[in-house]
Structure 1
Amino acid sequence: MKYVLLLPLFLLQMIVHAQSTNTLNSSEKVDDKLLLTIFLKHDQSMTLNEIEKIRTDQGFYENLPPEGVSVVNWFVVMGLGQVAVLELPASKLSAVNLAIERTAWKAFTTEMYATYNLYPIIEHKLKNKSKVTLDAKPSSEKADDKLLLTVVLKHDQSMTLNEIEAIRTNQGFYKNLPPEGTSVVNWFVVMGLGQVVVLELPASKLSAVNLAIERTAWKAFTTEIYPTYNLYPIIENKLKNKSKVDY
Structure 2
Amino acid sequence: MKYAVLLPLFLLQMIVHAQSADTLTSIEKADDKLLLTIFLKHDQSMNLNEIEKIKTEQAFYENFPSEGISVVDWYVVMGIGQMVVLELPASKLRTVNVALEKTAWKAFKTEFYTTYNLYPIIEHKLKNKSKVTLDATPSSEKEDDKLLLTVFLKHDQSMTLNEIEKIRTDQGFYENLPPEGTSVVNWFVVMGLGQMVVLELPASKLAAVNLAIERTAWKAFTTEIYPTYNLYPFIENKLKNKSKVEY
What is the CA distance between 1:14 and its match in structure 2?
Answer: 6.6
Partner in structure 2 of residue 201 of structure 1:
201
Count of residues paired in the alignment = 247
What is the CA distance between 1:28 and its match in structure 2?
Answer: 2.2
What is the rounded CA distance, in whole Å, between the counterparts of 2:12 and 2:167 in structure 1? 59
The structure 1 segments of at least 4 consecutive aligned residues displaced by more than 6 Å after TM superposition are 9-16
Partner in structure 2 of residue 106 of structure 1:
106
What is the rounded CA distance, in whole Å, between the counterparts of 1:172 and 1:118 in structure 2? 18
What is the rounded CA distance, in whole Å, between the counterparts of 1:76 and 1:137 in structure 2? 15
TM-score w.r.t. length of structure 1: 0.91
Q: Quick check: 1:57 aligned with 2:61?
A: no
What is the rounded CA distance, in whole Å, between the counterparts of 1:123 and 1:64 in structure 2? 32
What is the CA distance between 1:10 and its match in structure 2?
Answer: 7.9
Q: Quick check: 1:33 aligned with 2:13?
A: no
Alignment of 1:13-162 (within 5 A): 21=21, 24-162=24-162
Partner in structure 1 of residue 191 of structure 2:
191
What is the rounded CA distance, in whole Å, between the counterparts of 1:17 and 1:201 in structure 2? 51
Q: Which amino acid aligns with 2:188?
A: F
Q: Can you give the 5+ residue segments of structure 2 that lack an aligned partner in the other structure?
A: none
What is the rounded CA distance, in whole Å, between the counterparts of 1:20 and 1:147 in structure 2? 48
TM-score w.r.t. length of structure 2: 0.91
Q: Which amino acid aligns with 1:194?
A: G
Partner in structure 2 of residue 243 of structure 1:
243
What is the CA distance between 1:21 and its match in structure 2?
Answer: 3.3
What is the CA distance between 1:111 and its match in structure 2?
Answer: 0.9
Over 3 Å counting, the alpha-carbon distance change for 1:177 and 1:12 in structure 2 is: closer
SS of corresponding position for 1:196: strand
What is the rounded CA distance, in whole Å, between the counterparts of 1:233 and 1:168 in structure 2? 36
Contact (CA 8 Å) 1:30, 1:89: kept in 2 or not? no
What is the rounded CA distance, in whole Å, between the counterparts of 2:107 and 2:46 in structure 1? 9
SS of corresponding position for 1:53: helix
Over 3 Å counting, the alpha-carbon distance change for 1:18 and 1:123 in structure 2 is: closer
What is the rounded CA distance, in whole Å, between the counterparts of 1:22 and 1:142 in structure 2? 48
What is the rounded CA distance, in whole Å, between the counterparts of 1:41 and 1:108 in structure 2? 5
What is the rounded CA distance, in whole Å, between the counterparts of 1:188 and 1:170 in structure 2? 23
What is the rounded CA distance, in whole Å, between the counterparts of 2:154 and 2:93 in structure 1? 25
Partner in structure 2 of residue 226 of structure 1:
226
What is the rounded CA distance, in whole Å, between the counterparts of 1:23 and 1:203 in structure 2? 48
SS of corresponding position for 1:235: helix
Q: Which amino acid aligns with 1:123?
A: E
Contact (CA 8 Å) 1:75, 1:229: kept in 2 or not? yes
What is the rounded CA distance, in whole Å, between the counterparts of 1:185 and 1:80 in structure 2? 19
